[in-house]
Amino acid sequence: LAALDPTSMRHGKEAFLKLRSELSILAALSPLAAKQSQVLTSNIDVVESNIKKLKKHLPSATDVSGSRVPAGASVHPTSRRHCYTCAFADPSEGDPTRPVPCPTGTHEPPPPGTPSCVTCDSLDILHANFKALIADAKSAVGADTARIHETEVTLARIFRSLFHYEAHEFRAAYESAEQNKLLGRLDAHGILITLDWKMKFLAFLFRESQTEFFGKHGIPWHGVMFAYAGSEPDHFHVEFMDQIMHAGKEDASNTLQALVLATIKFKQAHPEKTWAFLKTDGASCYSKSIFTRGLSLVSELTKVQIREHHLGEAGKNKTELDGHFGITGTLVRRKVINAGGGFDVKSAHSLYEV
């Protein structure tokens, strides 16, 4: 099973668990909450499911002038969830040019008579329902004002997390379309390079719980995917390169070295390739200044110029490289299991030999 990324875990799964807990508390404070508890519990489940399926609800759109607007841009007047500006807004309020939510009027005008999408607005609707429960609790006879205020503050914090989680999923959905756009811009001399670190590999027969697993010093395993245009339109070649390291951290310096070594080897087999787009997720090893500055030196070392670096959402940005990791990891596990205890991957050398 795939593990949730930190943002999805903290602001998504954990926030929904807290919301269900607060609903049970509200049921004792608000007659309306007690009456609608079962329905709201079901609504929470629906909202959680809807956010996971956001990609299906991001329609392409064309503005009134006929020019393309970002896939998923708002097509409904009351639906800020469709809005590209909102999805890439700054929830920390550190960037005043990207407010949350974005100012009214920045959304694309809706087609005449088009209703709001209830699926995409489901979190907003749920938020409004909980506000109504708080108002009902305050109006109840003998209301416990201190307890209600505490619940109101807690709910505000929970919904801030949920809106942040929803924006996180929206950004991931928008970015999932970037790869096709980059491939479409390649010529006979260009390549698309995708980098990612596989979760550190540990000896298979001694696996622990996931919490303990992440604290271990495993074998660093870095992957590189090279994609380039084929001889026919819309036909591309893909090559994978696995880099197993004896030691070291998954930091910017080691990652930059891995990119350089992989590109040098690829260039030897494809001397006609002279430039590249680079695509990574938003992990710190790819976004720190040492890695960004180092990209300017890659062309001197490899004779391949990195023209653009596309950073994706941290924990998202899944590509065919993740599928490659899954296949190769499964092959390693099968070999260990088939050995019946006579073999295990305990070092970078033994992992490489597999």
Six token digits for residue 250: 């998954």
pLDDT over threshold 70, residue 170: yes
- pLDDT per residue as tens digits for the range 214-238: 445 567 788 899 999 988 877 899 9
For the chain, domains (ranges, CATH) are 7-64+71-178 (no CATH), 186-353 (3.30.420)
Task: Provide the whole-model pTM.
Answer: 0.59
Which is it for the CA torsion 242, 245, 249, 251, positive or negative?
Answer: negative
What pLDDT, on a 0 to 100 scale, did the predictor assign at position 30? 93
- pLDDT per residue as tens digits for the range 43-84: 999 999 888 776 555 543 333 233 333 333 333 334 445 555
Nearest to 226 by CA among 205, 210, 240: 240
For the chain, how big is the Rg over CA atoms in Å?
Answer: 25
Backbone angles phi, psi at 310, to 5 degrees: -105, 110
342 confidence band (pLDDT: 50, 70, 90): low
What is the average pLDDT across 316-333? 72
Six token digits for residue 245: 């390291």
What pLDDT, on a 0 to 100 scale, did the predictor assign at position 59? 45
Tell me the percentage of the chain whose pLDDT exceeds 90: 38
> Cα dist. 271→36, 41, 187, 231 in Å?
67, 60, 14, 16
Q: Which of 2-16, 101-115, 304-318, 327-341 has the lowest mean pLDDT?
A: 101-115
Q: Which three-class secondary structure string do you get for the chain?
A: CCCCCHHHHHHHHHHHHHHHHHHHHHCCCCHHHHHHHHHHHHHHHHHHHHHHCHHHHCCCEECCCCCEECCCCCCCCCCHHHCHHHHCCCCCCCCCCCCCCCCCCCCCCCCCCCCCCCCCCHHHHHHHHHHHHHHHHHHCCCCCHHHHHHHHHHHHHHHHHHHHHHHHHHHHHHHCCHHHHHHHCCCCCEEEEEEEEEEEECCHHHCCCHHHHHCCCCEEEEEEEEEEECCCCCCEEEEEEEEECCCCCCCHHHHHHHHHHHHHHHHHHCCCCCEEEEEECCCHHHHCHHHHHHHCCHHHHHCCEEEEEEECCCCCCCCHHHHHHHHHHHHHHHHHHHCCCCCCCCCHHHHHHC
Q: Which three-class secondary structure string do you get for 250-308?
A: CCHHHHHHHHHHHHHHHHHHCCCCCEEEEEECCCHHHHCHHHHHHHCCHHHHHCCEEEE
Six token digits for residue 4: 């949730």
Is 265 or 84 the better-scoring residue by pLDDT? Answer: 265
